[in-house]
Structure 1
Amino acid sequence: MLLPLPGGVDTLLVLLVALVVEAVVGDLRPVAKVLPGPLPLLARLAGMLDKRLNRIDRTDGARRLRGALVLVALVAGSALFGLAVTIFAHGARLGVALEIAVLASCLTVRRPWVAVTETFGALVKEGAEAGRLAVARITDRQAWSLDLHGVVRVAAESAALLLYRGVVAPAFWYALLGLPGALAWTAVSVAELVIGPDTGRYKEFGRAARLVSRLMGWLPARLSALFIALAALFVPHAKAGPALRAAAREAGGHPLGNPAWPVAALAGALELALAGPRREGSWWCGSPG
């Protein structure tokens, strides 16, 4: 029995329903405790493999090889799981519901919206300290040292980054390759975040994760910037033209890489300064973490 080809009407309809489901009921903590999605499971697995294989007594070459093998294992396992779900879903009566559920678990629509809303509400009602606690949900930055403007900046940056990583990129790869593609991107994205920092003990171990993430995220990052510019047409005081110009002017050589595209577009749309060097407390930051 032939499987439906990705990119068809059925695939796009499933994607639309999954986006709506995640936006409405996503990020429910009681459900996440019982049924964790692929992101926390892959993050936990990547962390375990990092502790076991990324040893300081290994050579740089050995670390690069081991990191690449970890990435291959995560991506291959995720893609094979996605293929198995697709095959089962195609033959089962309620299979489409299972596919929607798995795809929705790869998306991050509700969490950044809720976190940004809570952050601004906390700033207005309770001040910078409450804002720092709220924005910590969607950033790995050192939130304790942020002032009021820093909280707003980090909230905006994090929302743009999550649009790219958690919405556009998995949706793009699902439309292109089905569930295996969406889960493969999720594995690559998680691997980059967990073992991919270009510093310290991860510089060699995470080299493959950084490279594959740049390749897979090249087009989704630019699509994210385009979507932000289009959205600006419908938001009061936001500007679509400056969004596109800022992305084209600033994102190309930015050290942040692919995520610089949506961040630059959002900065241009709202006429803000984002993702530039700044001092926060005792920390010097060249880009958002």
Structure 2
Amino acid sequence: MSGAAILVLAMLLDAALGEPRWIWARAPHPAVVMGQAVAWLEARLNRGGARRLKGIAALVLLCAGAVLTGTVLGLFGWPVEMIAVAVLLAQRSLVDHLRAVSDGLRMSPDAGRRAVAMIVGRDTAAMQPPDVARAAIESGAENLSDGVIAPAFWFLVAGLPGLFLYKLVNTADSMIGYRNARYERFGWAAARLDDVLNVIPARLTAGLIALTHGLRGWKAIAADARLHRSPNAGWPEAAMARALGVALSGPRSYDGAMRYFPYVNGFGQKAIGPNEVEAACTALWRAWGAALALCIVLALLL
């Protein structure tokens, strides 16, 4: 069975089941295991001198383990590959998290803040409802790229080894890829490699959002994307912002300090709430559907 056909089945399986709690309450999720490996090496190597070199060495070890794991699992045939891919995709769980935010906002600002705190790393205690909605939509757009399109892309390119490598690097970046005193040097390699691996998927995600919403003016999306602090996350956020007619990015607080980032699609609506979060959920499924259709075409051609 071709990789594209396996991916089609895995995408459908993920969409149908998401991440069943009865499984992951009894066994560690592969992403959790990857995170534990990153944390174990960081605790032992991120000290003393030559921290950038140590970070590179740690990443090489982690990537080798990821590629080896993917290679071994691939030997068991397409059913195991399909299950592994479905487990490492995150479309259903992503939409479920965003819907929890919209449901929370309909109940109370506090409920919305509690729900969005599950999916973002910024300070949430003082967020107003529009801030909560904006954070949820941004997370949805970025994680469509990181959690769905990029894993699918790297599976098509390099099979399970490529998928496991991508997920490992993305997990490492989310844990140690910060520009602060502790991680700036040790996490440098993880952050840079994550940037490289997401160059194509981030722009592909933006294209899928634009395609499924009849958006024109790619130059405008590209210009908005360049306003973002990330070289890749700005692309799906810029496309999502224009698809929904809202302003994304903008000011937010990290570790008690307010950061004044520019808005993406700054002329879009800023007074947003649960309705816009629900619209983002619909947009995520539209883009997913377009990606699925592309994979079906590939499977038929192959």
TM range (shorter): 0.7 to 0.9
Q: Report the counterpart of residue 36 of structure 1 in structure 2.
A: 28
RMSD (CA atoms): 1.9
Match of 1:255 among 229, 232, 245: 229
TM-score by length of 1: 0.85
Which ranges of structure 2 fall in alignment gaps of 5 or more residues? 263-302
SS at match of 1:284: strand
1:225 to 171, 182, 206: 206
Kindly provide the CA deviation profile for residues 214-258 of structure 1, in whole angstroms up to 9, marking residues without a partner as x: 11111111001101112224xxxxxx226x444211213632221
Q: How does 1:46-125 map to 2 (within 5 A)?
A: 46-55=38-47, 58-59=48-49, 62-89=50-77, 96-124=78-106
CA spacing shift, 1:51–1:12, aligned 2, 3 Å: same
* Mapped pair 1:194 → 2:182: no
Secondary structure at 2:118's aligned position in 1?
Answer: helix
> Residue 256 of structure 1 aligns to a residue in which SS?
coil
C-alpha distance in structure 2 between counterparts of 1:32 and 1:121, whole Å: 24
The yes-or-no answer on 1:22 pairing with 2:14 is: yes
Q: How many pairs were matched up?
A: 262
Structure 1 portions without partners, runs of 5+: 1-8, 90-95, 234-239
Secondary structure in structure 1 of the residue aligned to 2:216? helix
1:61-103: CA deviations, max 9, x gaps?
Answer: x1001111111111111111111111232xxxxxx22111111
Q: How does 1:158-173 map onto structure 2 within 5 Å?
A: 158-173=139-154
- Assess if the C-alpha contact under 8 Å between 1:246 and 1:265 holds in 2: no
Q: For 1:181-222, what per-residue CA distance to the aligned partner results, in whole angstroms no more than 9, with x for missing partners?
A: 010000110011111112221000011011111111111110
Q: More deviation in 245-254 or 263-272?
A: 245-254
How far, CA to CA, are the matches of 2:233 and 2:207 in structure 1? Answer: 13
**Which residue is 2:108 aligned to?**
127
Q: For residues 97 and 253 of structure 1, what CA distance do their matches in structure 2 show?
A: 43
- Shift of the alpha carbon at 1:136? 2.0
Closer/same/farther in 2, CA of residues 73 and 280 from structure 1, 3 Å limit: closer
Aligned mates of 2:63, 2:44 — CA distance in 1? 18
Distance 1:143 1:279 in 2: 8
Q: Which runs of 4+ in 1 moved over 4 A?
A: 278-282
> Per the alignment, in what secondary structure is the counterpart of residue 229 of structure 1?
helix
Q: Which whole-Å deviations, capped at 9, do the CAs of 1:22-79 have from their partners, x for residues lacking one?
A: 1221222231122322211111111121111111xx12xx100111111111111111
Report sequence identity in percent.
35
Amino acid at match of 1:154: A
1:261 Cα deviation (Å)?
0.8
1:241 is aligned to: 216
1:228–1:262 Cα contact (<8 Å) kept: yes
The structure with higher relative contact order (CA 8 Å, sep 6+) is 2
8 Å contact from structure 1 (residues 112, 138) kept in 2 = no
Counterpart of 2:159, as a letter, is G
Scaled by the length of structure 2, the TM-score of the pair is: 0.82
Q: State how far apart, in whole Å, the 2-side matches of 1:241 and 1:65 are.
A: 44
Letter in 2 for 1:267: A
**Cα pair distance change 1:186/1:286, threshold 3 Å:** farther
Instruction: Check whether the contact 1:128–1:148 (CA below 8 A) recurs between aligned residues.
Output: yes
Change (3 A) 1:150 1:109: same
Task: Give 1:286 deviation, angstroms.
Answer: 4.4
Q: Are the aligned partners of 1:247 and 1:262 in contact in 2 as well (CA < 8 Å)?
A: no
